[in-house]
Amino acid sequence: MKTDNENKVIIFDASTLISFAMNGLFEEFKNLKKIFKGKFIITKDVKREIIDKPITIKRFKLEALKLKQLVDEKILEMPDSLGVTDKEISDKCNEILSIANNTFSGRGENIKIVSVGEISCLGLSKILNEKGVRNVVAVDERTTRMLGEKPESLEKLLRKKLHTKIISKKENFKFFRGFNFVRSSELIYIAYKKKLIELKNGMVLDALLWALKYKGCAISGDEIEEIKKLK
């Protein structure tokens, strides 16, 4: 039987980990893991995106090595630590990809809206939901979160970005209900509230949130102001 600690999971997409890595927030990330009563998990597809591929590119090698250290230290763990196999995730990913990339179309073609890494996170989340394991998906990329939270709004966003009429299979929307999401901005706010940030300055929360925004976190200036009011 799993303990309470094992029954609580954050599944990290590449986008959130890259936001932390590009801002050098490795110690803050480690400190968050220390207070989290559960597991930080990445899939093999996410590992490929944040470690296996960038470690071969000089520009991204340092961040990849530091992220690899998080895996070596078991701060980030793989799904097998939860008893979930790669085949289970692969099968679930195929199901989700088939539906996700056939939900919106424009100019007579289906629109591919999500990557394999993101889909693997959603697949693992669905598997854990079926097993009764509480989980949240950490993803900074807007499209994936909108697909799970507001697919109707995603239709409008695609129409605006592609400047064309978008046809959506609304019967697919219900398939993407039930996911819980968090961004790096919310995680860094928790770190700030829990006094896990070493830099002590009244402007540090503002600085952290804007730094994450400029490194890829899909958060608006208005949202940053709302988060700052919470302190």
One DSSP character per residue, 124-162 reads: HHHHHHHTT-EEEEE---HHHHHHHH-HHHHHHHHHHHH
Whether 33 is in a domain gets the answer yes
The average pLDDT across 71-100 equals 95
Whether 63 is in a domain gets the answer yes
Mean pLDDT of the chain: 93
The average pLDDT across 130-145 equals 94
Residue 3 pLDDT exceeds 60: no
Domain that holds residue 32: 8-230
**pLDDT tens profile 160-219:** 989 999 999 999 999 988 899 999 999 999 999 999 998 888 899 999 999 999 999 999
pLDDT of residue 5: 46
Asked whether the beta carbons of 18 and 142 are under 8 A apart, the reply is no
Between 69 and 149, the higher pLDDT residue = 69
Whether 187 is in a domain gets the answer yes
Angle at 139 between CA 3 and CA 11, to 5 degrees: 20
pLDDT of residue 6: 52
Domain count, the chain: 1
Here the CATH number for the domain that contains residue 78 is 3.40.50.1010
Q: What is the pTM for the complete model shown?
A: 0.92
Q: 3-state DSSP helix/strand/coil percent for the chain, to nearest 5?
A: 60, 10, 30
Whether 2 is in a domain gets the answer no
Q: Which of 191, 193, 183, 140 is nearest to 32 (CA)?
A: 191
Whether 3 is in a domain gets the answer no
The average pLDDT across 41-56 equals 98
CA distance 207 to 5: 32
Asked whether the beta carbons of 139 and 29 are under 8 A apart, the reply is no
The average pLDDT across 53-75 equals 97
**pLDDT tens profile 15-43:** 999 999 999 999 999 999 999 999 999 99
Whether 142 is in a domain gets the answer yes
Whether 1 is in a domain gets the answer no
Whether 163 is in a domain gets the answer yes
Asked whether the beta carbons of 17 and 68 are under 8 A apart, the reply is no
The average pLDDT across 86-111 equals 92
